[in-house]
Amino acid sequence: MSLKSVFLNSTSAILAATLLVACGGGGGSSSSFTPTPAPSPSPSPTPSPTPTPTPTPTPTPTYASGVYQPASTFKDFCQAPRSGSDIEGNPFPDMQGTIHDELFWLRSWTNETYLWNDEVPDENPSNYASAGTPAYFDTLKTSEITTSGTPKDDFHFYESTEEYLLSRNSAPRSGYGARFAVLQGSPPRDVRVLYTEPNSPASNTTGGEAPFQRGARILEVDGVDVVNGNDVDALNNGLFPANSGETHTFVVQDVGEASRSITITSADVVTAPVNKTAVLDVNGDKVGYILFNTFSPFASEEAIATAMTEMSDAGVSDLVLDLRYNGGGLLAVAAQTGYMIAGSAQSNGKTFEYLQFNDDAGNRDPVTGEINDPIPFIDTGVGFSLASGTPLDSLNLNRVFILSTGGTCSASEAVINGLRGIDVEVILIGDITCGKPYGFYPTSNCGTTWYSIQFQGVNDKGFGDYADGFVPDNSSFAFGARAPGCVVADDYNNELGDPNEGLLSTALYYRENGACPASAPKPAVRAEGQKTVFLGEGELATTDRTPGELIRDNNRDLRMPY
């Protein structure tokens, strides 16, 4: 499903018109002629400079309550048009417009594509001409709540298009290659290392142990006390360096060890979608383990296919898919993942996910205009990073163990829901998932990429009501969609993939005994009206917005390769 610019044809027409003018005016004759000799030059008065014509102002759009012009009327008309091309080589489509064009585009685009468009108040966009597009965008969502009392739309977000393109292309980002958990953002702070990226400064063992290890607590950054210090800017600058080549000092305390000092230099780091794989020998059986951290970059397609081939070649009889930190991403890769777990016998002819758009859309996708066909379980490469048509290996399992936290979101939940829709048993080990059966097309206009909920996904059985998350059976949380499994607290004391790590060891116990261990530590029960927020990398300072990086990643992204 291509999201190519709707202005392609009009741009070509403008180019053709420009060439026509450049060829000169008047139609000439092809007959021969004798040129008139040029007269002798004579003095002439210095011509007056031609005044620069005043640009014709773009008329301000007219607001009428409940009356919406097509979003295409305003698309790419920008207050400050960009020139040149983006990092993918595509020319910027921007044309000269006004802030009113950008505001009215948001209004019409929301009315056309937002899932709950009938729950959005209709205000005059021009009232936000001074405040700007972000302030207006924040009003363009429902204020309704879920059964448990959390906001129905907790995923409204925007970012620069440059950042969006860097993310989807897996462009290197400056950092250490460590992902942190900010368990407590205000004093006394508790900042831990969740995991490190392979081949990054954080995991480099040259000269001894790796600088950052899972579970390590960050005590000082550049001499500033992390736990009780007041210089939040210094802490953020050290934890999340803006540029590669920055050197910072830390005091860290590894699990069960005394504190130690480290010096580390940031570099350009590429996220590994599949961070770790293992084949475990459990009482003579082979159990596969895959730590799959994101569906977002194009590279995730090849990464998960390679991991599943490893599991298939090893002949695993069970799979533990670790999605505890996977906020989602490309829905096509999620559909491929579902196929590789279930195989063709269980998934052939079945729906992985059917998308429900707003009531005005009918049987068409309001973003692409295409017929809204169900998304199948995909059994070949689609061309993100694996050649289109490449057959995918499958494990042909009738059950899968999925490790989860509040950071297990969107496309990850689509895997859970899609498999449940074809009666593959999903055993959930960990905490309640984030609760996002929704998705969106990231849509760019005038240098900003906007994320607005546009569809809800349902499985082959028509189920998709899990806005309060998937909940392990033994949880005391009264809401959400129940799933067999066990509530277990995330275990920072052991490495991911270690059979002694809390979630993985519980999955292996459940596999052997069909029940949860009595001694597994449980996370704090989510209070009514409270949504679990998985922080990951971000800033220590608390804000009233969910960190944008997480909303971008917590998605069902419908893009397909061009």
pLDDT of the residue at 170: 64
CA 320, 326, 328, 331: dihedral to nearest 10 degrees?
-30
| Residue 165 clears pLDDT 70, i.e. is over it | yes
DSSP 8-class letter at 232? H
| Alpha carbon distance 520, 430 (integer Å) | 10
411-420 vs 331-342: helix axis angle to the nearest 10? 40
Question: pLDDT band at 551, cuts 50/70/90?
Answer: very low
Residues 6+ apart with CB under 8 A from 352: 334, 335, 338, 339, 374, 375, 376, 377, 378, 414, 418, 421, 459, 460
Residue percentage of the chain with pLDDT more than 90: 72
Residues 6+ apart with CB under 8 A from 74: 61, 97, 101, 102, 104, 105, 108
SS3 content of the chain, % helix, strand, coil (to 5): 20, 25, 55
| Alpha carbon distance 49, 44 (integer Å) | 15
DSSP 8-class letter at 329? E
Tell me the C-alpha to C-alpha distance, in Å, between residue 67 and each of 62, 64, 475, 492: 10, 5, 47, 54
Full set of structural domains in the chain with CATH: 78-169 (no CATH), 173-269 (2.30.42.10), 274-441+455-527 (3.90.226.10)
Q: What is the mean pLDDT of residues 76-103?
A: 97
Please provide the average confidence, as pLDDT, over all residues in the chain. 85
**Residues 455, 460, 464: CA angle, nearest 5 degrees:** 40
Q: What is the mean pLDDT of residues 88-102?
A: 97
Model confidence, pTM = 0.81
Q: In sequence order, which ranges of 240-356 are alpha helices (DSSP H)? A: 300-314, 331-342, 344-347
Strand partners, 67: 64
Structure-token match 């001894």, residue found: 208
Structure-token match 């070649």, residue found: 313
**Residues 265, 269, 273: CA angle, nearest 5 degrees:** 145
Q: What is the mean pLDDT of residues 196-211?
A: 91
pLDDT of the residue at 59: 78
Q: pLDDT digits over 433-455, tens only? A: 999 999 888 999 999 999 999 99
Look up residue 45 and give its amino acid.
Answer: P
**What's the sign of the alpha-carbon dihedral 358, 529, 179, 470?**
negative
Q: pLDDT digits over 266-294, tens only? A: 999 999 999 999 999 999 999 999 999 99
Structure-token match 């499994």, residue found: 485
Phi-psi region of 334 (alpha: psi -120 to 50; beta: other; left: phi over 0): alpha
| Alpha carbon distance 61, 342 (integer Å) | 52
Question: pLDDT band at 229, cuts 50/70/90?
Answer: very high
Q: pLDDT digits over 359-411, tens only? A: 999 999 999 999 999 999 999 999 999 999 999 999 999 999 999 999 999 99
Structure-token match 């992390």, residue found: 226
Q: What is the mean pLDDT of residues 191-209?
A: 91
Strand partners, 428: 402, 485
Question: pLDDT band at 185, cuts 50/70/90?
Answer: confident
Tell me the C-alpha to C-alpha distance, in Å, between residue 334 and each of 261, 296, 327: 41, 10, 12
Q: What is the mean pLDDT of residues 22-37?
A: 33
| Alpha carbon distance 290, 395 (integer Å) | 13
pLDDT of the residue at 40: 39
| Alpha carbon distance 219, 184 (integer Å) | 13
pLDDT of the residue at 525: 54
| Alpha carbon distance 171, 167 (integer Å) | 6
